[in-house]
Amino acid sequence: MKKLTFITTILTVLCLSILSANGQSTPPASPSAEAVGVLASGTNVKISYSSPSVKGRKIWGDLVPFDKVWRAGANNATQIEIDKDIKIHNKVLTAGKYSIYMVPGETGWVVLFSSQTGQAGMNHDGTTTLDNSKVVLRTIADSKKSKAFNERLVYNISEKGMTLSWENLDIILPMK
């Protein structure tokens, strides 16, 4: 009887250890992040995105190809929320929630704001989830070499607009 109790106890401890180890999760490769700020106009801006790391890879023109639509982050499509109408290069983006997509270029970047929100950033076949019929604003952003290397993709909101920084580039989009 003592042997049976001993064996049962050992098996119980072993099973609990295995279940406990399987229940532990590793941090996501591209964790969720938010950038929050206020434009000079008083407009509140919130960008929700997933933040991938460089991990020694060449980002621009390789991991993120030039001249192809990109989800502007990782995992789900990046989302922006504004509480007042804003102007971007004299084009009006009305208050609301939008997905942001970008088309990286070697000299200029196209930024697309889509009324479709909450979708994955990519389809299973590697194509974008952007529905061109839902694009409400298309504009150009400037790119410049970053002052510092950025291991993680990060968005920042300032009084002047939005900046995406990753690897060795800053993508700057003025907003009023």
109 forms beta bridges with 141
Q: How many domains does the chain have?
A: 1
Place 29 in a pLDDT band, splitting at 50, 70 and 90: confident
Task: Give the angle subtended at the CA of 39 by the CAs of 107 and 114, to the nearest 5°.
Answer: 60
- Kindly state whether residue 149 falls inside one of the protein's structural domains: yes
Instruction: Please tell me whether the overall predicted TM-score, pTM, comes out greater than 0.85 for this model.
Output: no
At 39-64, the pLDDT tens digits run 999 999 999 999 999 999 999 999 99
For residues 149 and 167, is the Cβ–Cβ distance under 8 A?
yes
Provide the pLDDT confidence category of residue 23 given band limits of 50, 70 and 90.
low
Identify whether 86 is part of a domain.
yes
Does some domain include residue 12? no
User: Domain of 164?
Assistant: 28-174
The two beta strands, 108-114 and 135-158, are antiparallel
Whether 11 shows a pLDDT value over 50: the answer reads: no
Residue-level pLDDT at 65 = 93
Residue with more model confidence, 25 or 45: 45
Q: Helices (DSSP H) in the chain: which residue ranges?
A: 2-23
Q: Which tens digit of pLDDT belongs to each residue from 110-147?
A: 999 999 998 888 887 777 889 999 999 999 999 999 99
Sign of CA dihedral 64, 67, 68, 69: positive
The pLDDT of 103-115, averaged and rounded, is 93
The answer as to whether 9 is a domain residue is no
Confidence of residue 8 (pLDDT cuts 50, 70, 90): very low
Let me know if residue 58 belongs to a domain: yes
Q: What is the DSSP string of 149-169?
A: EEEEEEEEEETTEEEEEEEEE
